[in-house]
Amino acid sequence: MTIEDSTQVAVERSNSIKASKSHSSTQLTTSSSNATIYDVASRAGVSIATVSRVLNGYSQMKPTTRDLVVAAMRDLRFVPNNSARGLSSGTKMVLGMVFLHAEAIDPGLEVEDDTLLFTDAVIRGAEEEASKNGYALLLGGVGNARLTETLDRMYSNCDGVILLDRTVPDRSVPTIAKRLPTVLLAGNGKSRSAATIRVDNEEPMKQLANHLISVHGYQNIAFMAGIRTSPDSIARENSFREEVAHLGGAVEVDRLWESSYTTSGAIAAVEARLKIDRAMPQAIVCANDQSAVGVIYALEHHGFKVPQDVAVTGFDDISLSRRITPSLTTVRQPFQELGKAAVDVLIKICQGEIRGGAGSRVLPTKVIYRSSCGCTDVTESRVEKFMRGRG
């Protein structure tokens, strides 16, 4: 390429630039289209490179020049086009969050209002953390068989992606992680290809086992699983069983004890169990609060008193667990913090501060002792319960 060629090209681009400039300016008067850095540059009497520098907080600039540009930006209400930035720089400042639609969580069953509490809270936490760091959060709900499209949407729009538990089969994770920085939320923590953020399921379940056996003296206990393939459910059940065995108690083994994590699922499970055997265990430990509520409802319906006849515990500490009678002994899990932690780690991975596998974190949980386990119920009104339960 000769100098002349180069010059020709320059002329050419100058022409298009001019065209572009006047075009934008014209449209501004009209309505929708936005000002570009060309508009800002010409108004400030500088080159687009200078405008770009201001945009990106480049430090070695003459303050007066910067002020000029900033003023022009303000006057034109300039907002940079993120598609262009993304194309040019390769970073889109957008993170993706892939989750399961209700229909996909519990196919065939009617969806309960509370089924997605977990998802909702995580999303909010994630959004807050993302926006605090200048990132936007893109939602990717996965319904029946829409996984591919959703993932593609993530690939084409995001710098990184958070996958909620069970949205993606384990074997696909490495493929995804190869394309995009990936964080797993509440998975089994066994992926070597992506960081996993999860809560401590083990410790509180051991505490609970200890409490039920040592404090209340229960011997026969059942564990109501959520979904048998769910890592959280599995972890909770295993830790609980281990500790009970360790303490010489017994946990009933029966495939009936599975709730789909839902109230109605738990009701159905208890009723199925009653058909086989009218005798109930002394305590039923549930993989989540929704199903604990179902267990309480069903027991009551069939003449059992909770906790006098059967004790019940949950996991999550959703707001209902403080409002139900008897109030629910459960494990508090920091939903929003999960979302925040996932974003935090994901951003670090995107920025190359840490490498994929190294970002895993386990967030602490806390057993909350209320009435349903047999601990004395303070006789207080619902107002008092409610006020005390906050925060």
- Binding residues vs DNA (CB under 7 A): 6-7, 9-10, 12-16, 19-20, 23-24, 33-34, 36-38, 45-50, 52-53, 55-56, 60-62, 64-66, 78, 80-81, 83-85, 87-89
| Position among 81, 172, 214, 229 found at the interface with a second copy (CB under 8 A) | 81
32 within 8 A of 11, measured Cβ to Cβ: no
CB 239 within 8 A of CB 245: no
Beta bridge partners of 97: 139, 162
Q: What share of the chain is helix, strand, coil (3-state, %, to 5)?
A: 50, 15, 35
Amino acid letter, 94: V
Bond prior to 326 in cis (omega within 30° of 0): yes
**Please, what is the minimum distance in Å from the beta carbon of residue 370 to a second copy?**
16
Contact code string over 24-63 relative to a second copy, x by CB under 8 A: -------xx-x-----------------------------
Q: Tell me which of DNA, a second copy, none is bound by residue 264, counting a contact when its beta carbon lies within the kind-specific cut-off of 5 to 8 angstroms.
A: a second copy
Residue 315 CB, nearest approach to DNA (Å): 44
**Which one among 194, 320, 338, 373 touches a second copy, defined by CB under 8 A?**
320
Q: How far is the CB of 241 from a second copy (least distance, A)?
A: 28
Q: How far is the CB of 309 from a second copy (least distance, A)?
A: 15
Quote the CA–CA distance of 312 and 324 in Å, as a whole number: 12
Q: How far is C-alpha 197 from the geometric centre of its chain's CA atoms?
A: 9
Q: Among 157, 188, 207, 360, which residue interacts with a second copy (rule: CB under 8 A)? A: 157
Q: What are phi and psi of 283, to 5 degrees?
A: -145, 145
Q: How far is the CB of 77 from a second copy (least distance, A)?
A: 8
User: What angle is formed at CA 134 by the lines to CA 84 and CA 49, rounded to 5 degrees?
Assistant: 40
The neighbour count for residue 43, using CB atoms within 10 Å, is 20
Instruction: Map tokens 């199903």 to a residue.
Output: 291
CB atoms within 10 A of CB 375: 17
Q: From the list 5, 145, 255, 376, which residue makes contact with a second copy (rule: CB under 8 A)? A: 5
Minimum separation from the CB atom of position 179 to a second copy (A)? 6
Give yes or no for residue 114 binding a second copy (CB under 8 A). yes
Q: Is 70 in the site for a second copy (CB under 8 A)?
A: no
Contact pick of 52, 120, 210, 250 for a second copy (by CB under 8 A): 120
